[in-house]
């Protein structure tokens, strides 16, 4: 832990932690929206992968990161349409539907990436680059960490408080929370339970897709198979630890980002130790956090339950 005493090393460590947490933050906030409306979104992992694939293909075909961003969101929205159709429209078990989408995206993105990108699959793609905010970026330690970032990081700064405001300070957010806890009462008040759930699932998957866009357009600038690497499942743990609150989910994601950056630092400092041992750190941290705190939180009452008007 000597690097914590070195200002530059500490800045680098915190910057790495933030970069590693951003895809999880987008996915976790998306998961909060869907689950607050009563729909389990186990497909966050597949949506991150869909967003990454779409971002890579869009950037490759258009030659700009903006084209990649739009296509990444669009592909993730398609995954959201499938989940909404299965879970909300047909009433299929939401966990099974989410797992099916994860499997579909793993296979589909691997095949289409080889088909579309071909020999250029390993070429560096155009992406977003850091933009320093004058004055704020000069603050010691935290300035470069928070205010010398790319467009998608600044978008994340806006997304989390906007999601919190939407859920807790607007009539639409009240409708979402009512549907997640007591859909019968919401329906009796004239609120379309299926309509709101479909909208929340779509928004959820698109936000998770933004996490995939960040991986390709801001972090590695290339698409690789299975590059989501379990981030969607860590996002699920984060939203539970965050008590289905966007701000709480943000804090949990930052914690997981810190553990991920720590395992990278441990790999660098201890090359003689098998790296697989250190790679387990974020997942072990999420498991322990869930064991310690999951029993103290209450999920939305109607989560995972198909609503049928007039049914029991």
Higher pLDDT, 1 or 60: 60
Q: What is the pLDDT of residue 295?
A: 62
Q: What is the pLDDT of residue 1?
A: 52
Question: What integer is the mean pLDDT of 48-52?
Answer: 95
Q: Is the pLDDT of residue 172 over 60?
A: yes
Question: What integer is the mean pLDDT of 194-218?
Answer: 95
Q: pLDDT band for position 69 (50/70/90)?
A: very high
Question: What integer is the mean pLDDT of 109-114?
Answer: 88
Instruction: For the beta carbon of residue 158, count every other beta carbon within 10 angstroms.
Output: 9
Q: Where are the alpha helices (DSSP H) in the chain?
A: 7-36, 44-62, 65-83, 94-116, 142-147, 151-169, 171-181, 183-188, 193-214, 231-241, 246-269, 275-279, 281-293
The string of DSSP codes covering 50-89 is: HHHHHHHHHHHHHSSHHHHHHHHHHHHHHHHHHHIIIIII
Q: How far apart are CA 285 and CA 263, in angstroms?
A: 11
Q: What is the pLDDT of residue 6?
A: 63
Q: Is the pLDDT of residue 213 over 60?
A: yes
Question: Using one digit for the tens of pLDDT, what is the confidence trace for 79-96?
Answer: 999 999 999 988 889 999
Place of tokens 């590693």: 20
Q: pLDDT band for position 277 (50/70/90)?
A: confident
Q: Which residues contact 16 (CB under 8 A, 6 or more apart)?
A: 261, 264
Q: Is the pLDDT of residue 261 over 70?
A: yes
Pick from 81, 90, 96, 51: which is nearest to 215 by CA? 51
Mean of per-residue pLDDT scores for the chain: 87
Domains in the chain: boundaries: 10-296
Question: What integer is the mean pLDDT of 238-245?
Answer: 89
Q: Which fold, 10-296? A: ABC transporter involved in vitamin B12 uptake, BtuC (1.10.3470)
Question: Using one digit for the tens of pLDDT, what is the confidence trace for 5-25?
Answer: 567 778 888 888 999 999 999
Q: Is the pLDDT of residue 162 over 90?
A: yes
Q: Is the pLDDT of residue 54 over 90?
A: yes
Contact 166, 172 (CB under 8 A): yes
């Amino acid at each position: 832990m000597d690097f914590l005493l070195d200002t530059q090393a500490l800045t680098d460590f915190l910057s790495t932690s933030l970069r590693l947490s951003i895809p999880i933050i987008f996915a976790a906030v998306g998961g909060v929206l869907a689950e607050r409306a009563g729909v389990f979104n186990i497909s966050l992992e597949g949506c991150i992968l869909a967003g990454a694939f779409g971002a890579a293909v869009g950037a490759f075909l258009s030659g700009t990161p903006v084209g990649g961003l739009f296509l990444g969101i669009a592909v993730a929205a398609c995954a959201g349409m499938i989940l909404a159709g299965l879970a909300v429209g047909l009433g299929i078990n939401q966990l099974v539907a989410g797992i099916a989408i994860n499997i579909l995206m793993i296979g589909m993105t691997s095949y289409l990436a080889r088909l579309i990108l071909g020999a250029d699959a390993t070429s560096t793609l155009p992406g977003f680059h850091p933009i320093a905010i004058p004055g704020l970026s000069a603050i010691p330690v935290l300035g470069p960490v928070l205010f010398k970032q790319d467009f998608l990081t600044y978008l994340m700064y806006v997304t989390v408080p906007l999601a919190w405001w939407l859920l807790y300070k607007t009539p639409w957010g009240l409708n979402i929370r009512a549907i997640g806890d007591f859909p019968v009462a919401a329906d009796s008040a004239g609120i379309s339970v299926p309509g709101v759930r479909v909208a929340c699932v779509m928004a959820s998957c698109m936000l998770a897709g933004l996490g995939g866009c960040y991986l390709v357009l801001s972090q590695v600038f290339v698409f690789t198979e299975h590059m989501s690497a379990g981030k969607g499942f860590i996002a699920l743990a984060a939203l539970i630890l965050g008590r289905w609150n966007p701000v709480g989910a943000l804090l949990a994601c930052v914690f997981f980002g810190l553990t991920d950056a720590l395992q990278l630092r441990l790999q660098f400092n201890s090359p003689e130790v098998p790296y697989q041992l250190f790679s387990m750190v974020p997942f072990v941290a999420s498991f322990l956090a869930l064991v310690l705190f999951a029993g103290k939180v209450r999920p939305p009452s109607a989560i995972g339950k198909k609503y049928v008007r007039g049914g029991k």
